[in-house]
Amino acid sequence: MPERYDLAVVGAGVVGLGHAAAAMQRGLKVVVIDRATAIVGSTVRNFGHIGTSAHVGEAREYAERARELWKRYAPRAGFWLREPGTLVVARNEDERAVLAEAGEGTLLSGEDVMHRSPVRGAVGGAFLAGDVQVDPREAAPALAGYLARRGVEFRWRTTALGVEPGALHTSRGEIAADAIVFAVNFDVDHLFPEIAEEHGIVRCGLDMMLADGLGLGTPVLTGSSMLRYSTFAGTDAAAALRARFAAEDPEVLARDVNQMYTERPDGTLLVGDTHHRDVTVAPFQDEAAFDLLGRLARELFGRGLRIRQRWQGVYASAPQDFLRAAPLDGVRVVSVTTGIGMTTGLGLAESVVTELFAPG
Ligand SMILES: Cc1cc2nc3c(=O)[nH]c(=O)nc-3n(C[C@H](O)[C@H](O)[C@H](O)COP(=O)(O)OP(=O)(O)OC[C@H]3O[C@@H](n4cnc5c(N)ncnc54)[C@H](O)[C@@H]3O)c2cc1C
C-alpha cells in the first residue's frame, strides 16, 4: 500500500509552508512537493516586510495572525526577525494629508522623520509600530528546515501534473492524501485555467535591486506606497496624491512604482519596485525602470546607491487580495493575489487548514 498523507501541499513558498506548518501543529502527516530544487519563488525575492498596519479587512486579519506566526517560528526555526515598525515618509502636503486621514500609527513631524532616518525633504510622516521584518532570503528556507526536522516530508524536483479527490499526480508518481492544497502562486493557470480566468489572475513582474546599505534601521515607505496599500489608498486624500503624481512625475504611475526600502541583517538595502502585469511576463527587464528607482532613491536620500544585484520578481495578480477556491472535494487552490504574501500568507494558510480539518 502506498503511504497516505493527511495533507499534500504543492509549492514550498510562504503560502505552501504556512499550510504545512499549520497542519504539522495539528499533528497531521504532511508532504510538500515543489518542482524546484530549493525555495526560489516570490518568497525569496521580496522585501521581507511584514507590513501588517498597511492593510484593512480580511488582509488585516490574516496579517495580524501571520505576524504572530512569524514571531512564533523565528526562534524555533532560527531565522532573523526584528520588530522595527515602518516609517512612512511624507514629502508633500498631500502625502501628509493621506497619513492624517488614515489615522494609522503615530503621526510625526518632518524633523522627527529625518531624525529617525537618513531621508531628505520630509514634511511629515507616520510610524507604524506593529510591523515586522525578516530576511526574505533566509526566513522561508529556515522554516522549511524546521518543518522537515519536525517530520514534514519535502519532495523537491517534483511537479504536480493533476489531481483528483484523494490523489495528487506528480512527475514522480502518485501521492495519496486526504486533503491537497495547491499553493503555486501565479502558476494557478497551468493546472486550473478556468479558476485563473474566473478570478482574473495574471502575472505581475517586478524590478528589484540590492544596494549597499544606508543605515536605515526602520523599513521606509513613501508616497507611492500610499497609493498601493489599503490603509492609505482607501482615503479621500489619496486622489489628490495620485493627481499630483500624474501631473509631476507620471513615470511613477506608468511603471506603477512602490518606492520602498528595507535593510537586511547584513546591512544591504533592498530597493524597489516597479510592477507590470500580463498573462506572461516579458523576460527582458527595462533599464529605464532601474534608472527610475535610482533617481527616486537619489531624491529621497540625497545620494546615489551602489547597486550589487538586480532581479525580477513575479507574483500572482488579480482584483481581489486572495484566491481560495475548492475545485474538488478536499482540494484547495490558494494564492495571495496582490503581492502581500509575506504579510498575510501564514495567516491565510492557517485559516484554510482550519476549514479543511475543522477547528483544532
Ligand atoms: C519583488 C517582490 C517584492 C515583494 N515584497 C513583499 C513584501 O515586502 N511583503 C509582502 O507581504 N509581500 C511581498 N511580496 C509578495 C510575496 O513575496 C508573495 O505574495 C509570496 O511570496 C507568495 O508566496 P507563494 O508561496 O504563493 O509563492 P512562491 O514563493 O512563488 O512559491 C510557489 C512555489 O510553487 C512551486 N510550483 C509552482 N507550480 C508547481 C507545480 N506544478 N508543481 C510543483 N511546484 C510548483 C514553485 O516552484 C514555487 O516554489 C513581494 C513579491 C515580490 C515578487
Q: How does pLDDT run across 210-265, given as a tens digit for each residue?
A: 999 999 989 999 999 999 999 999 999 999 999 999 999 999 999 999 999 999 99
Pocket test for ligand 1, best of 19, 32, 43 (most atoms within 8 A of CB): 43
Residue type at 239 in one-letter notation:
A
Domain for residue 249, yes or no?
Answer: no
Domain for residue 263, yes or no?
Answer: yes
Domain for residue 17, yes or no?
Answer: yes
pLDDT band at 355 (very low <50, low <70, confident <90, very high): very high
Domain for residue 101, yes or no?
Answer: no
- Closest atom of ligand 1 to 204 CA is 53
Judged against a pLDDT cut of 90, whether residue 2 lies above it is answered with no
- Closest atom of ligand 1 to 191 CA is 41
Pocket of ligand 1 (CB under 6 A): 10-16, 33-36, 41-43, 45-47, 49, 51, 159-160, 183-185, 187, 206, 208, 272-273, 313, 315, 335-336, 339-343, 345
Judged against a pLDDT cut of 80, whether residue 269 lies above it is answered with yes
Residue of the CA atom closest to atom 16 of ligand 1: 341
Q: How does pLDDT run across 342-351, given as a tens digit for each residue?
A: 999 999 999 9
* Ligand 1 mean position, distance from CA 284 (Å): 20
Pocket test for ligand 1, best of 171, 184, 222, 277 (most atoms within 8 A of CB): 184
Nearest 5 degrees, angle CA 117-CA 121-CA 125?
60
Residue of the CA atom closest to atom 35 of ligand 1: 11
For residue 323, give its domain range: 4-85+130-222+259-357
Contact 218, 117 (CB under 8 A): yes
Indicate the DSSP class of residue 223.
H
Indicate the DSSP class of residue 117.
S
The x, y and z cell numbers of residue 70, run together, are: 512569524
pLDDT at 123: 98
pLDDT at 207: 97
pLDDT at 358: 86
Which residue in the block uniquely carries the three cell numbers 494558510? 349
- Whole-structure pTM value: 0.97
pLDDT at 320: 96
Domain for residue 107, yes or no?
Answer: no
Judged against a pLDDT cut of 70, whether residue 28 lies above it is answered with yes
Residue type at 347 in one-letter notation:
G
Judged against a pLDDT cut of 90, whether residue 359 lies above it is answered with no
Domain for residue 254, yes or no?
Answer: no
According to DSSP, the residues that pair with 125 across neighbouring strands are 89, 108
pLDDT at 3: 86
* Gap between the terminal Cα atoms of the chain: 29
Mean pLDDT of 43-51: 98
Tally of domains within the chain: 1
Residue of the CA atom closest to atom 30 of ligand 1: 41
* Ligand 1 mean position, distance from CA 1 (Å): 34
In terms of Cβ atoms closer than 10 Å to its own Cβ (0-12, 13-18, 19+), residue 217 is: middle
- Closest atom of ligand 1 to 273 CA is 1
Q: How does pLDDT run across 148-166, given as a tens digit for each residue?
A: 999 999 999 999 999 999 9
CATH number, domain of 63, equals 3.50.50.60
Domain for residue 110, yes or no?
Answer: no
> Strands of 81-82's sheet, edge to edge?
49-50, 132-134, 81-82
The Cα 276–Cα 284 span in angstroms is 12
pLDDT band at 360 (very low <50, low <70, confident <90, very high): low
Q: How far is CA 9 from the centre of its chain?
A: 19
Judged against a pLDDT cut of 90, whether residue 19 lies above it is answered with yes
Which residue in the block uniquely carries the three cell numbers 531624491? 299
Domain for residue 246, yes or no?
Answer: no
pLDDT at 1: 59
Average pLDDT over all residues of the chain: 97
pLDDT band at 97 (very low <50, low <70, confident <90, very high): very high
